[in-house]
């Protein structure tokens, strides 16, 4: 009987050790599972959050619509101009009907300088954009000239 009691206690101790090892293993598996799941959730959350897109390097920083006035020998007082638009792709277009020079199209350079051509009457518009979104320009067509000043709306 004493032998059976000793064997019983030995088996009981062995079972306790196995139980403890199993509990520790289950706890470790649970921790690893939680850590993995948390990391997956972070990835899912990170993927779901909107990412602010940085402006592409080839997008014109002066893009927008501009208001301008011009002066000329015929009109020394500033005369309101019309449309002047710079597109994100560095192209520009507009009109200065009041000057008689009509519509123009052209291109902006990375340094802010620009050139355009008056499509109907011929002639050129040459100017400079500034960091504060203002510009100055000189236009000439068929012997008529004008100076333009403007700003982005």
pLDDT digits (tens, 9 = 90+) for 80-122: 877 789 999 999 998 766 555 578 999 999 999 999 998 888 8
Range of the domain at 40: 1-52
Residues 72 and 37 in one domain: no
- Given this model, what pLDDT does residue 49 score? 52
- Given this model, what pLDDT does residue 54 score? 45
More confident: 11 or 125:
125
SS (H, E, C) the chain: CHHHHHHHHHHHHHHHHHHHHHHHHHHHHHHHHHHHHHHHHHHHHHHHCCCCCCCCCCCCCCCEEEEEEEEECCCCCCEECCCEEECCCCEEEEEEHHHCCEEEEEEECCCCEEEEEECCCCCEEEEEECCCCEEEEEEEECCEEEEEEEEEC
Residues 106 and 42 in one domain: no
Residues 32 and 100 in one domain: no
Segment 15-21 shows an average pLDDT of 65
- Given this model, what pLDDT does residue 29 score? 59
Residues 73 and 147 in one domain: yes
Residues 38 and 75 in one domain: no
């Amino acid at each position: 009987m004493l032998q059976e009691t000793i064997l019983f206690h030995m088996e009981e101790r062995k079972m306790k050790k196995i139980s403890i090892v199993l509990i520790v293993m289950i706890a470790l598996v649970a921790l690893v599972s939680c850590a993995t799941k948390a990391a997956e959730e972070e990835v899912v959350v990170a993927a779901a959050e909107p990412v602010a897109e940085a402006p592409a390097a080839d997008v014109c920083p002066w893009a927008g619509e501009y208001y301008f006035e011009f002066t000329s020998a015929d009109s020394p007082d500033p005369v309101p101009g019309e449309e002047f638009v710079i597109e994100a792709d560095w192209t520009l277009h507009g009109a200065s009907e009041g000057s008689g020079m009509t519509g123009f199209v052209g291109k902006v350079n990375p340094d802010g300088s620009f050139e355009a051509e008056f499509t109907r009457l011929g002639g050129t518009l040459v100017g400079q954009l500034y960091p504060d979104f203002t510009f100055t320009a000189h236009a000439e067509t068929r012997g008529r000239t004008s100076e333009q000043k403007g700003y982005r709306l």
